[in-house]
Amino acid sequence: MIQRVRSPAIIVLFLTWLLFTAYYLNRLNYSPVLPLIRADLDISNAGAGLLLAFFFLSYTTFQLPAGYLGDRFGPRKTLAGGGIISIIGNLIFSQVDGFALLAFGQLINGMGQAVGWSSAIKMVVNWFPKERRATAIGFFITCVTIGSSAGIRMSGFIGEHLGWRASFMIPPLLMLCVLAVFWCVARDNPVDKGQPGFEDETAFEQRLPGDSWSQIRIVLTNRTLWVVALVYFCFAYVQFGCLVWIPTFLSERYEMSVNQASVVASLVLLPGIFASPFCGFLSDRCFKGRRKSLIIIGMAVLAGTCFLLGFDLDIGVAVAVLAVLGLMIVMPDVLLATFPADILSRKLTATGMGFLTTFTSVSGIVTTPLSGKIIDMFHSYGALFFSFAVIALAGTVVAMFITEKASET
C-alpha cells in the first residue's frame, strides 16, 4: 500500500532543499573566480587545485563523524551547525591574503560542508515512506543542479563586478537567512510535528543493535555499501572535476570572459533539474526500487560525454555535449544516495551516507590537484576530459557488481 505524503513533509522537503542550495552557494563560489584568484595570488593551475584540495581534506575527514552525529542528535541540529561553520570558513577566506590562511579558510568551510549531505538525506528519508524514497530524494537533489548553477553564476557575476573576495562574503549572508527559517520551521521527523511515524522498516530496525559502535560496525562491514562507495568515488571524481574546471575550460579554450563562462556553465547544468526527480520516479515506480541498471546507464553515458569533450569541438557542439553532461553528473547521484536507507533503514541513514561521502570526498582531494596537474603537463583540456572518461568507465564496470537486496546486515 502506497502511503500518502502529508503537506508538512513537502514543507520540510522544500526547506531542506533550500538550505542545501545555500550550502552549494557557499561551496561552488570558488571555481568561477579561479582565474581571478590565480592572477591575484600568482599561482599555477596545480596550486589553485591544491588550495581547493584543503577543502576536500577536512570535508573527507569529517564525513563519517558527521553522519554519526546526524543519526545521534538529529539532522536539524547538525545541518544548522554545519551551515554556521561553513559561513565562518567562507568569511575567513574572503579576508585573508597568504596561501596558508586561505587554505585554513578552506579547511573550515570543508568541515561545515561535510555535515550537510548525510544529514540532509536523512531528513528527507525521515519524512517520506520507503516506496516514495527515491522520488523524494530525486526532487531534493535538484538543489545540487540549481545550487551549482546559481553558485557558479552568482560567483562569476560578483567576482567580475566586485572582485573575487566578494564572492565569499555575499553567499554566507544568504545562508544565514535561510538557516534562520529552517531552524524555526523544520523538525527531525513527523513525530516531532505531532504526526504518526512510518512503520515500513520497523521490523528491520528492531534487529539493529542499540549501541553506537555495533551500529558503526554494521555500516563498515556491509559488502554492498563498499561496492556502492567505489562507484560513488568514480562518479564524484568526475562530478567534482567538471564543476571545478568547466568554467575555466570555457574561459580559456573559447576565450570567454569570467562572467560569460559562468553564464554558459550555469545554463548547461540546468537540465539536471529534470533528470533527478525523473530518475527517482523511474527507480521507485518502473524499476520497483531497483537502482543498479539506471546507475550503469548513467555512468556509461557520463563516460561517453567526457570522451567527446576531449576533442576540439565547435562551441555549439560543445555546449550541447555539456548539456548532456549536466544531466549525467546528477542522475547517478540520486540512485547512489538511496542505498544507505535501502540497506540500513532510516535509523542508520546518516552514518551510512557519511561512509559513502567519505569516498566522494577522497575523490575531491584527488581530482582537484591532479586535474590541474594534467592541464599543466599536457597544456590541454582534452587530456583532462579523457581522464574523466576513463574514471567514469571504471565506475560503470564496478557498478555491475552491486548486489541489490531488500535489506542486508
Length of the chain: 409
Buried b (16+ CB within 10 A) or exposed e, 46-70: bbbbbbbbbbbbbbbbbbbebbbbb
The structural domain count of the chain equals: 1
Distances, alpha carbon 80 to alpha carbons 7, 65, 69, in Å: 23, 16, 12
Whether residue 349 lies inside any domain: the answer is: yes
Alpha helical stretches, state H, 254-314: 258-269, 272-281, 292-309
Q: Dihedrals φ, ψ of 344, to 5°? A: -110, -5
**What torsion do the CA atoms of 224, 229, 235, 237 make, to the nearest 10 degrees?**
-160
Whether residue 199 lies inside any domain: the answer is: no
Contact (CB, 8 A) for 205 and 409: no
Whether residue 409 lies inside any domain: the answer is: no
Identify the domain containing residue 67 by its residue range. 7-180+211-399
Domain containing residue 365: CATH number: 1.20.1250.20
Whether residue 341 lies inside any domain: the answer is: yes
Whether residue 197 lies inside any domain: the answer is: no
Q: Which of 231, 210, 229 is nearest to 221 (CA)?
A: 229
DSSP 71-136: HHH-HHHHHHHHHHHHHHHHHHHHH--SHHHHHHHHHHHHHHHHHHHHHHHHHHHHHS-GGGHHHH
Per-residue pLDDT of the chain (409 residues), as tens digits, is 445 556 788 999 999 999 999 999 999 888 888 888 888 888 777 778 788 888 888 988 898 899 889 888 999 999 999 999 999 999 999 998 888 899 999 999 999 999 898 899 999 988 888 778 888 888 898 888 788 888 888 998 999 899 999 999 999 999 999 999 999 999 998 887 777 767 655 555 566 666 677 778 888 888 999 999 999 999 999 998 988 888 889 988 898 887 888 788 877 777 777 888 888 888 888 887 788 999 999 999 999 999 999 999 999 999 899 989 988 888 888 889 888 888 887 778 888 888 998 898 888 778 877 888 898 899 889 999 999 999 999 999 999 999 886 444 3
Contact (CB, 8 A) for 402 and 292: yes
Buried b (16+ CB within 10 A) or exposed e, 351-375: bbbbbbbbbbbbbbbbbbbbbbbbb
Grid cell, residue 229, equals: 562507495
Whether residue 1 lies inside any domain: the answer is: no
Whether residue 229 lies inside any domain: the answer is: yes
Contact (CB, 8 A) for 122 and 349: yes
Contact (CB, 8 A) for 313 and 322: no
Q: Dihedrals φ, ψ of 211, to 5°? A: -80, 150
Query: Considering the entire predicted model, what is its pTM?
Result: 0.75
Whether residue 2 lies inside any domain: the answer is: no
Phi-psi region of 403 (alpha: psi -120 to 50; beta: other; left: phi over 0): beta
Contact (CB, 8 A) for 287 and 294: yes
Contact (CB, 8 A) for 304 and 321: no
